[in-house]
Every structure is written in structure tokens, then in C-alpha cells.
């Protein structure tokens, strides 16, 4: 049995998948969770030795608990969580119904809390653990108003809530030896931004001193650091990873 086991949500695609790939390169054992069973199976079919998989819905408490229990059953422990599962909504403010708003909050906010709660219950017993949640740089810019594939109010509000959740849980879980931090990616080339127009992509490139849109691995590098022992004296922080698009 290896010594480090990390649960990654949203593992079937984009940033979550890149996190799994990085963790596996480092010899970490990975519990993959996603609602997309087929993509999950395809993504890591040749990694059976170091990967366990479960499909489920992050907004359902029992699914979150099942993922944590499966990780402990398979690897003997759970040392880290990188929570990437999330949904986008670009619905313009005037077209946005309460039902859509609540759907986004249920997945992005309640789901983040439920998986943190499930993981923390196990970690607290060992007085050790590293948790990473995912916000968005849209929280700083406000998105650009919705539609055209750009973050609308439901998405931006949900990602702002993650900042509060990180800080609240960092205070609650610190005395149990658990660190809780967040990553705040800028525009990153994943299926989530597939609807972005060429103009919007070009505008994002122009905002970054590095002159490019982020790759999933750009974000995964920071997320994986935050579950490593190198980050053991960090908690309650939100780390912006956007090629410098919003500093200053
Ligand atoms: N791509 C970007 O530009 C960008 C920017 C800032 C923040 N983010 C955030 O990064 C995270 C990862 O996004 P991505 O770009 O990799 O997107 P993605 O769409 O490629 O991946 C998201 C994954 O989450 C899974 N998922 C969605 N709802 C779920 C649910 N209810 N239960 C379980 N799994 C569910 C999907 O099946 C998918 O595999 C998200 O939280 C997103 O909001 C992305």
C-alpha cells in the first residue's frame, strides 16, 4: 500500500482529470469521482492499480460519503481532497430563473460543502488532511455579464460562495489538523469553455501578461501542491492561477 491517497472530484474531464494524471505521476493513489460514468471509465482504464472510481452526484450527501468510504476501503486512508466537480451557467440576468440559479448553487456550493464534510469526518479522526476547493477568477472580474459562454450571475455567485466556504471551513477544521484552501483559475481550456467565441478567447489572451489561455495542467500543478506537505502551513487561502490576468 502506498502512503498517500487523494480523492479527486470532476475527475473525468478538464482540470480534475489533469490533477489525477499529475498525482499518478507522483505515485499517489487516487479515488476518482464524477457523475459521468462513461468518461470516467474511459479516462483511467489502464490505471486500475492506483485508481479507484465511483460515479455519483456531488450534490447528494450519500454519494459524497460513498466516495470517501470507497477511498478508505481501497487505499486504507484519505489524505487529500481536490474538488473540481462543477457546472457553468451563462444565463443572462434577465433570463435567469430561480430554478436554474438554485441548480447551480446546489452543485457548486452545496456540493462543495457536502464533499468537504464527508472527507473532513475521516480526516479529523487522524488529525491530518489537505482540502482544496475550486473558485474562479470570475469572482474578481464579475464575469462579463452572462451569455456568449461567459459566466453569468448564478455561476459567479456560486464561485464567490466558495471563498467564504474555504475560510469558514479553514477555521473550523484547523484545530483538527486539516488545511482548507482554494484555487481560483482564470479561463482554462476545458470543455467548460467550449462555447466561448473566438473574440472572447482572444480577449482573454490579451489580458494575460503570459499571453495565453491556461491549460488544465497549469491549474493542476497548483492544486496538487496544495494537497502536498509543502503546503502544510497554508490554510484559508485562495490561490489565483490565471497567467496574471487580474493582478494589480
Ligand atoms: N475551465 C475554466 O475556464 C474554469 C475557470 C475557473 C474555474 N473553473 C472551475 O474548475 C472546475 C473544473 O472545471 P473544468 O473546466 O475542468 O470543467 P469540465 O466541464 O471539463 O469538468 C467538470 C467535471 O465535473 C463533473 N460534474 C459536473 N457536475 C457534477 C456533479 N453534480 N457531480 C459530480 N460530478 C459533476 C463533470 O461531469 C465534469 O467531468 C469547476 O469547478 C469550474 O467551475 C473552470
CB atoms within 10 A of CB 41: 14
Q: Has residue 165 got a pLDDT over 90?
A: yes
Ligand 1, CB cutoff 6 Å, lining residues? 10, 12-16, 34-36, 57-59, 84-87, 107, 111, 134, 136, 185, 187-188, 190-193
Residue whose Cα lies nearest atom 19 of ligand 1: it is 192
pLDDT (tens digit, 9 = 90+) per residue, 116-130? 999 999 999 999 999
Active-site residue, selected from the candidate residues 44, 101, 155, 196? 155
- Pick the range with the lowest mean pLDDT from 65-69, 134-138, 200-204, 220-224: 200-204
Domain 5-241: which CATH class? alpha beta
d(CA 210, CA 212): 6
Q: Has residue 2 got a pLDDT over 60?
A: no
Q: What is the mean pLDDT of residues 83-105?
A: 94
Annotated active-site residue 155? The verdict is yes
Residue whose Cα lies nearest atom 10 of ligand 1: it is 84
Cα–Cα separations (whole angstroms), residue 194 to 44, 180, 190: 23, 30, 7
Q: Has residue 135 got a pLDDT over 50?
A: yes
**Which band of pLDDT confidence, cut at 50, 70 and 90, is reported for residue 225?**
very high
Rounded mean pLDDT of the chain?
94
In sequence order, the β-bridge partners of residue 185 are 241
Amino acid at each position: 500500500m502506498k502512503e498517500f491517497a487523494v480523492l479527486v472530484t470532476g475527475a473525468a474531464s478538464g482540470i480534475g482529470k489533469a490533477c489525477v494524471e499529475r498525482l499518478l505521476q507522483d505515485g499517489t493513489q487516487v479515488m476518482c469521482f464524477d457523475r459521468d460514468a462513461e468518461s470516467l471509465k474511459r479516462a483511467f482504464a489502464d490505471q486500475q492499480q492506483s485508481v479507484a472510481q465511483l460515479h455519483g452526484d456531488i450534490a447528494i450527501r450519500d454519494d459524497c460519503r460513498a466516495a470517501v468510504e470507497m477511498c478508505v476501503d481501497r487505499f486504507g486512508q484519505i489524505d487529500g481532497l481536490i474538488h473540481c466537480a462543477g457546472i457553468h451557467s451563462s444565463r443572462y440576468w434577465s433570463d435567469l430563473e430561480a430554478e436554474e440559479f438554485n441548480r447551480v448553487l446546489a452543485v457548486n456550493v452545496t456540493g462543495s460543502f457536502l464533499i468537504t464534510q464527508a472527507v473532513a469526518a475521516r480526516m479529523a479522526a487522524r488529525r491530518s488532511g489537505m482540502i482544496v476547493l475550486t473558485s474562479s477568477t470570475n469572482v474578481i472580474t464579475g464575469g462579463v455579464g452572462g451569455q456568449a459562454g461567459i459566466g453569468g450571475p448564478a455561476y459567479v455567485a456560486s464561485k464567490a460562495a466558495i471563498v467564504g466556504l474555504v475560510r469558514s471551513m479553514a477555521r473550523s477544521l484547523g484545530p483538527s489538523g486539516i488545511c482548507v484552501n482554494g484555487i481560483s483559475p482564470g479561463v482554462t481550456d476545458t470543455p467548460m469553455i467550449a462555447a466561448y467565441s473566438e473574440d472572447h478567447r482572444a480577449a482573454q489572451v490579451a489580458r494575460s501578461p503570459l499571453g495565453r489561455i491556461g491549460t488544465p495542467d497549469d491549474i493542476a500543478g497548483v492544486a496538487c501542491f496544495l494537497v502536498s506537505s509543502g503546503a502544510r502551513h497554508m490554510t484559508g487561502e485562495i490561490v489565483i492561477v490565471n497567467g496574471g490576468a487580474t493582478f494589480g
